[in-house]
């Protein structure tokens, strides 16, 4: 060996030892971070991913970063092809000398699976090329086909998931039935659950269609009618942002599980949209979501229900209507049923709204104790509720709860678009009595519009909007515009002129809004006591539904000086739709 050759070899040996030290350090970092530094075994990957067939693509330049494994020497190098064995010193150094000479290196041979490559021949050449800073290397490429994609960042633990995915695709043929589908997950065991979903769907398809459903037909139908609609909800709601590092299929499974848990807890059917929103609200690790949860709990702990102001005006519209999949305003209706005649009037009114909206009813009967909840009397309420819903051909389910009626209604209102209840006990005129009024508490705290029904239900054929230009009145204007347009019922708008609060311009604003939405209405200006003027106008125009905003002042001021809302609740014989 010439002196120059000896010096070049000695330098290459020193480079090898530096590479070995880097390999040792990389192993330590892998243990600390939990991210593997190992190369993948080609044979292991081939078997787990059920690779079949091969095609030779000849000589190509391939990126060194995309080489993730080896056919036979996956234990001799780290993931970045640093040498792990001292016995490789001389061979590694000879390759290094050759790289730096004019001779260069011959091409390596690789298998390609997806976007990743596995060295069949040329491991040392790859190791040296990476150490000298090369980005690409020439290789003879043989592509091996598999159902499951493989990327350069695949970790050894990922192979468990990819093997399960390969088994899932082999059983379902979903990659052939829906070639665009990507059902990747990030946790083992999920494909077993997906297969269970398909089997359950197939079973109910068979019951509905009264025939044996071929498995592949059930797979395609499940994907189109069950899986894909939930994924669309996840995309529309942007819920992947709430759970970084997870996939759409992860979230499909979480939403499905959360929805089933909610339905069991509430006793109602819950839409995927509502379940997805609740999942993000309750479990997202995003700082904004965490802060909102903490703030809500603190506020609830320190504020008595009687003086809590409830959510800001219009929030219900933003939450439930912005991304709704249909054009109905009231698709889910909560109706409180107390088992008395007044409660059945409320149910009849709710059934009328449900008929017009194509809605479903969520009944709620609140008992003061668990004993009374489980009593024969409570079961009789459920049976009567079911009978009336079936007779009206309206889907409905009644839930039995224990606790305070206003709190339970407010807690469950968030799953609905409208709350219907009996106006049996309106707020009393005395301040102390108003403070203890369950209806006042509910109207302040409830996150949804409330339809309060007096002694008998109404045909809801003519509506009166009481409009004073306040934010809650604007919500009432929105609802009145919708009802008049969709239900095709006459609408009268009344504004009671009050010094410093409402003027003729207030009424003109409502008129402008209605005209912009193509709704015709009669407009009335009144003076005098607000409640009397509203009731008088309702009588004159034969209105059988009053629509208005809720309380406008703080809870304590409302208790002290009273409210037109309370006065109308006490005097009206018509249903009142109170909006926030």
Cβ distance 485 to 556 under 8 Å? Answer: no
> Which residue's entry shows tokens 């402008």?
512
Instruction: Tell me the HSE value of 469 on the side-chain side, using a 13 A CA sphere.
Output: 16
Domains and CATH numbers, the chain: 3-155 (3.90.1530.10), 159-283 (no CATH), 303-579 (3.40.50.12370)
pLDDT band at 102; cut points 50, 70, 90: low
- What is the H or E stretch that residue 488 is in? none
Candidate ranges 325-339, 435-449, 519-533; pick with highest mean pLDDT: 519-533
pLDDT band at 439; cut points 50, 70, 90: confident
Strands 360-367 and 332-336: parallel
Write down the H helix ranges in 493-543. 504-516, 530-540
**In the structure encoding, which two tokens stand for residue 318, read together?**
């933003």
Is residue 504 helix, strand or coil? helix
Q: How far is CA 240 from CA 243, 284, 431, 574, in A?
A: 5, 10, 49, 46
Phi, psi of 42 (to 5 degrees): -60, -45
pLDDT at residue 555, as a whole number: 45
Mean local confidence (pLDDT), 22-31? 84
| Dihedral sign computed on CA atoms, order 324, 328, 329, 335 | negative
Rounded CA-CA distance 205/223 in Å is 13
Cβ distance 196 to 222 under 8 Å? Answer: no
Question: pLDDT for 513-541, tens place per residue?
Answer: 999 999 999 999 999 999 999 999 999 99
Cβ distance 526 to 536 under 8 Å? Answer: yes
Going by C-alpha positions, the residue among 401, 453, 422, 398 that lies closest to residue 340 is 422
- What is the H or E stretch that residue 327 is in? none
Rounded CA-CA distance 253/250 in Å is 5
The total number of residues written for the chain in this structure: 580
Between residues 313 and 475, the one the model is more confident about: 475
pLDDT at residue 489, as a whole number: 97
| Dihedral sign computed on CA atoms, order 404, 407, 412, 418 | positive
Task: Please state the separation of Cα 511 from the chain's center in Å.
Answer: 37
Residue 100 pLDDT greater than 80, yes or no: no
> Roughly what angle, to the nearest 10 degrees, separates helices 248-266 and 228-237?
100
Going by C-alpha positions, the residue among 137, 161, 140, 135 that lies closest to residue 149 is 161
Among 28-42, 233-247, 488-502, 520-534, which is the least confidently predicted range? 28-42
Rounded CA-CA distance 335/349 in Å is 9
Residue 508 pLDDT greater than 50, yes or no: yes
Rounded CA-CA distance 194/106 in Å is 48
Question: pLDDT for 213-247, tens place per residue?
Answer: 999 999 999 999 999 999 999 999 899 999 998 99
Quick count: other Cβ atoms within 10 Å of Cβ 510?
Answer: 24
Is residue 333 helix, strand or coil? strand
Across the beta sheet with 360-367, the strand order is 396-402, 360-367, 332-336, 418-422, 450-453, 576-579, 545-549, 463-466, 491-496, 522-526
Q: What per-residue string of b and e applies to 448-469 under the rule 16 or more CB within 10 Å gives b?
A: bbbbbbbeebbebebbbbbbbb
pLDDT at residue 420, as a whole number: 97
CB within 8 Å of 41: residues ≥ 6 apart: 69, 70, 74
Residue 326 pLDDT greater than 80, yes or no: no
Nearest-5° angle of CA 387, CA 389, CA 392? 110
pLDDT at residue 31, as a whole number: 76
Average pLDDT of the residues of the chain: 88
Residue 3 pLDDT greater than 70, yes or no: no
Question: pLDDT for 378-388, tens place per residue?
Answer: 999 999 999 99
Mean local confidence (pLDDT), 413-427? 89
**In the structure encoding, which two tokens stand for residue 297, read together?**
């709990």
> Roughly what angle, to the nearest 10 degrees, separates helices 564-571 and 438-445?
130
Is residue 139 helix, strand or coil? strand
**In the structure encoding, which two tokens stand for residue 545, read together?**
């539904």
pLDDT at residue 472, as a whole number: 92
Q: What percent of the chain has pLDDT over 90?
A: 61
Residue 433 pLDDT greater than 50, yes or no: no
Mean local confidence (pLDDT), 147-172? 86
pLDDT at residue 482, as a whole number: 96
Rounded CA-CA distance 72/427 in Å is 83
pLDDT at residue 11, as a whole number: 86
pLDDT at residue 321, as a whole number: 63
Question: pLDDT for 249-263, tens place per residue?
Answer: 999 999 999 999 999
Q: How far is CA 376 from CA 126, 166, 282, 329, 372, in A?
A: 78, 53, 35, 36, 8
pLDDT band at 429; cut points 50, 70, 90: low
Mean local confidence (pLDDT), 297-311? 67
Between residues 399 and 559, the one the model is more confident about: 399
CB within 8 Å of 436: residues ≥ 6 apart: 306
pLDDT at residue 203, as a whole number: 96
Quick count: other Cβ atoms within 10 Å of Cβ 436?
Answer: 13
Mean local confidence (pLDDT), 108-132? 93
Residue 307 pLDDT greater than 70, yes or no: no
Phi, psi of 311 (to 5 degrees): -70, 160
């Amino acid at each position: 060996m010439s002196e120059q050759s000896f010096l070049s070899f000695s330098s290459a040996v020193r480079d090898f030892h530096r590479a070995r030290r880097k390999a040792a350090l990389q192993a330590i970092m892998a243990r600390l971070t939990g991210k593997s530094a190992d190369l993948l075994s080609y044979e292991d990957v081939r078997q787990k991913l059920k690779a079949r067939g091969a095609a030779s693509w000849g000589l190509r330049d391939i990126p060194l970063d995309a080489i993730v494994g080896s056919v036979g020497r996956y234990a001799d190098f780290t993931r970045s092809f640093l040498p792990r064995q001292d016995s490789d010193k001389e061979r590694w150094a000879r390759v290094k000398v050759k790289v730096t000479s004019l001779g260069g290196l011959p091409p390596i041979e690789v298998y390609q699976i997806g976007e990743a490559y596995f060295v069949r021949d040329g491991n040392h050449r790859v190791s040296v090329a990476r150490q000298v800073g090369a980005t690409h290397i020439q290789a003879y490429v043989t592509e091996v086909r598999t159902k499951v994609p493989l990327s350069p960042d695949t970790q050894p633990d990922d192979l468990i998931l990819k093997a399960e995915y390969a088994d899932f695709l082999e059983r379902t043929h979903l990659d052939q039935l829906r070639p665009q589908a990507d059902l990747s997950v990030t946790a083992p065991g999920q494909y077993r659950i997906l297969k269970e979903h398909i089997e359950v769907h197939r079973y109910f398809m068979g019951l509905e269609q009264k025939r044996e459903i071929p498995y592949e037909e059930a797979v395609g139908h499940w994907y189109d009618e069950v899986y894909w609609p939930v994924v669309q909800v996840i995309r529309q709601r942007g819920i992947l942002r709430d759970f970084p590092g997870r996939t759409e299929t992860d979230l499909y499974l979480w939403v499905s599980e959360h929805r089933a848990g909610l339905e069991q807890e509430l006793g109602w059917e819950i839409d995927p949209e509502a379940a997805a929103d609740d999942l993000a609200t309750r479990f997202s690790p995003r700082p904004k979501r965490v802060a909102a949860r903490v703030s809500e709990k603190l506020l609830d702990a320190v504020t008595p229900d009687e003086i809590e102001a409830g959510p800001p005006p219009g929030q219900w519209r933003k939450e439930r209507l912005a991304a709704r999949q249909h054009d109905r305003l009231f698709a889910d209706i909560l109706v409180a049923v107390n088992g008395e005649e007044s409660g059945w009037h409320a149910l009849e009114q709710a059934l009328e709204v449900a008929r017009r909206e194509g809605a479903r009813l969520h009944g709620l009967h609140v008992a003061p104790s668990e004993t009374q909840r489980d009593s024969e009397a409570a079961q009789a309420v459920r049976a009567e509720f079911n009978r009336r819903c079936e007779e009206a051909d309206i889907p409905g389910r009644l839930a039995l709860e224990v606790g305070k009626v206003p709190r339970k209604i407010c807690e469950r209102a968030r799953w609905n678009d409208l709350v219907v209840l009996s106006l049996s006990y309106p707020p009393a005129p005395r301040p102390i009595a108003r403070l203890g009024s369950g209806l006042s508490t509910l109207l302040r705290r409830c996150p949804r519009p409330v339809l309060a029904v007096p002694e008998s239900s109404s045909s809801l054929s003519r509506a009166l909007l009481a409009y004073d230009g306040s934010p809650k009145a604007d919500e009432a204007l929105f609802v009145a515009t919708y009802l008049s347009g969709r239900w095709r019922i006459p609408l009268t708008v009344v504004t009671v002129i009050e010094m410093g609060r409402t003027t003729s311009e207030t009424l003109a604003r409502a008129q402008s809004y209605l005209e912009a939405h193509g709704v015709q209405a009669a407009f009335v200006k009144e003076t005098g006591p607000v409640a009397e003027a509203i009731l008088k106008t309702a009588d004159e125009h034969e209105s059988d539904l009053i629509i208005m905003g809720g309380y406008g002042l703080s809870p304590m001021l409302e208790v002290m000086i009273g409210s037109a809302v309370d006065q109308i609740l006490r005097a009206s014989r018509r249903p009142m739709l109170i909006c926030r």
